[in-house]
Structure 1
Amino acid sequence: MAVADCLHFVRAAELLHISPPALTKQIQEAERMLGVRLFNRTTRSVSLTSAGEVFQIEARRALEQFAQAEESVRRAGRGEIGRIEVGYIASTAYSGVLQAELSIYRKHYPDLEVNLREGALARLPQLIEAGTLDVAFLRPPVTYPVGIDGIVIARERFVLALHAESPLARLDVVHPAQLRDERFILPEQESGTLEIGRRGQFHPQIVTRPGRLVAVVTMVSLGAGVAVVPHSVVDHIVIPDVVYREIHGGVVPTEIAVAHRRHEKAPAVRAFIRQVRDRSKAAAA
């Protein structure tokens, strides 16, 4: 390309910081490899042959493509392009935490592909361990496999979901002891239900475990029992015959965390983990 642009071997050699004989040898080797002459050479001038003109066009395209490839690799190394697989449970989307973190991430890395997958709470850490997911938004406590960690990024409280015709629905605040004789519908995160039983000094009578919150609240609407659910569902799961009530005796806490591989190597994923960790520290300060 240097010789084709300059049409002068000495000037081209100076641009390339090599000797003119070395450049001449390289051009001759290229012509032998291709089986065609690329340049017409005389003692006074150098010009491209018709084959040389074609090769100049294709070589320029190749160099431009190579430059683009180099830049893409560098950006991938900085975590600016690539793909990240994100798992979540629905209640983390109801809370807005999922949307907030991914919105910030996409502003900083607009060319990254973000794939979302809703999953079961107990399965998400296993999918990260297997490499199917990179990170997951979930609610502790949950068992993490070896090599998987979690970063707490938000906290909220549990509330009670009741059938509208339940006598307890007439109360603004329900004491845990008043739930002693109730039947409980268990969501994925059972810690709230267990804490209600501890505070009320009884063992919750669990009648069904539908897991997902929409299914849980639907069961409440059918009169199957009561449920302890995150407060963030109050404005997002509105189903006929269901009311939500606060729990007496102080906040029954629940957390949202981002699970990830402890020794993550992918730059795009590491960038997301770094963002989550920084924002978690800022919120706690």
Structure 2
Amino acid sequence: MITDVHGRELRSFLTVAEELHFTRAAERLYVSQPALSKQIRALERHLGASLFERDRQGVSLTAVGTALLPHARAVLAAWEAGHEAVQRAREAADGTLVVGMSTSPGRGGLLPAIRSRFTAAHPEAVLKLRQVGWEDPTAGLADGSSDVAFVWLPLAGAERFHRVVVATEPRLVALPETHPLAARTRLDFADLLDEPFLALPDSGPELRDHWLALDCRGGRPPAIGGVIAGTDETYEALVGGLGVCLVASGNAPLLARDGVVTRPVDGLTPSSLALAWRTDDTRPLVRNYAHAAADVAGSSRSNPIGCDFQGLIDGPGSGKS
């Protein structure tokens, strides 16, 4: 019966259908090939039809397997979405707030200060920090895996989010200490126009363009020396001489290690770090964490709030940066 089919069997079928190779599929699923074959045979028994043709040339889908494939994908995708919804509901019920970030927003105790103000008002709440790769410029806001997030502006899909700027910092250049320009104490951006740059993934074109300083190039396209998706990857690319990159001053210590230096650059606009949250998320925990971030940012002379927080909280959604 169809009701006897397990999600495990559907996932095994989908993996074999994608790989068209039982050994590779078993490796992806971290099971033995005999165990995988057993799961496929069990599914075929439930359905009363063969799903794969096996011969010396390899593995291929039968007509029945081809018919099942899109439905198996849909069922598993729906289950994943349901699991995530349950997780978010559990976290909301137990007072958990997930804070996403792509790099740690240290910056003179910014994060502990926000936590202190927030927990003073909500001692029962649980803050869960979540590190998100640079492939997602919203740090988990877009897919709902984060409730609030520290993000760099400009923010992709900005109309979907409220935000408050918590730090405004100059952009420095990071480069290998052996680079000829590293001998200078200060650079002009014109000196860097012909240098290969390390670029963010193209999943966030607005942010990628910002860290390539397209706004300061006068229409000259950048030369891309490599794509980076994390701090350690950036450091290795710099040491390897693949290119130079821009970095916010607050993040400079993450890269300025053995073999890499950072230098101030004239002719660049500053960078802005913001706390963002979804416009349709009106939960008190979210609003109050945002208020705590605004209070902390507003109390710092070096990191003033860059927008009208009250308007963002109470007015219609605004993602303008």
| CA radius of gyration, larger in | 1
Shift of 1:243: 0.9
Alignment of 1:107 with 2:116, yes or no, is no
In structure 1, which of residues 172, 182, 193 is the aligned counterpart of residue 212 of structure 2?
193
- 1:63-87 Cα distance to aligned partner (Å, 9 max, x none): xxxxxxxxxxxxxxxx9x7110110
Counterpart in the other structure of 1:257: 274
1:139-150 maps to which residues of 2 (within 5 A)?
A: 139-144=152-157, 146-150=159-163
Runs of 4+ in structure 1 deviating by more than 4 angstroms, as ranges, are: 278-282
Shift of 1:97: 3.2
2:134 and 2:230 in contact (8 A); partners too: no
1:1-285 maps to which residues of 2 (within 5 A)?
A: 82-93=95-106, 96-121=109-134, 123=136, 125=138, 127-144=140-157, 146-187=159-200, 189-190=207-208, 191-195=210-214, 198=217, 202-249=220-267, 252-280=269-297, 283-284=304-305
Deviates more, 1:203-212 or 1:190-199: 190-199
Shift of 1:281: 5.3
TM-score calculated relative to the size of structure 2: 0.56
Deviates more, 1:190-199 or 1:179-188: 190-199
Shift of 1:279: 4.4
Gaps of 5+ in 2: 1-91, 202-206, 307-321
The code of the aligned residue for 1:183 comes to P
Separation (CA, whole Å) in 1 of partners of 2:247 and 2:282 = 36
TM-score calculated relative to the size of structure 1: 0.62
Gaps of 5+ in 1: 1-78
Deviates more, 1:106-115 or 1:122-131: 122-131
Separation (CA, whole Å) in 1 of partners of 2:253 and 2:139 = 31
Counterpart in the other structure of 2:47: none
SS at match of 2:257: coil
- 1:126-148 Cα distance to aligned partner (Å, 9 max, x none): 84344322100010112136542
1:98 and 1:137 in contact (8 A); partners too: no
- 1:3-22 Cα distance to aligned partner (Å, 9 max, x none): xxxxxxxxxxxxxxxxxxxx
SS at match of 1:161: strand
The code of the aligned residue for 1:252 comes to T
Counterpart in the other structure of 1:29: none
Query: Is the alpha carbon distance of 1:129 and 1:248 closer, same or farther for their aligned partners in structure 2, counting shifts above 3 Å?
Result: closer
1:94 and 1:236 in contact (8 A); partners too: no
Q: CA RMSD in A?
A: 2.9
- 1:121-172 Cα distance to aligned partner (Å, 9 max, x none): 5636484344322100010112136542222121111101111111101111
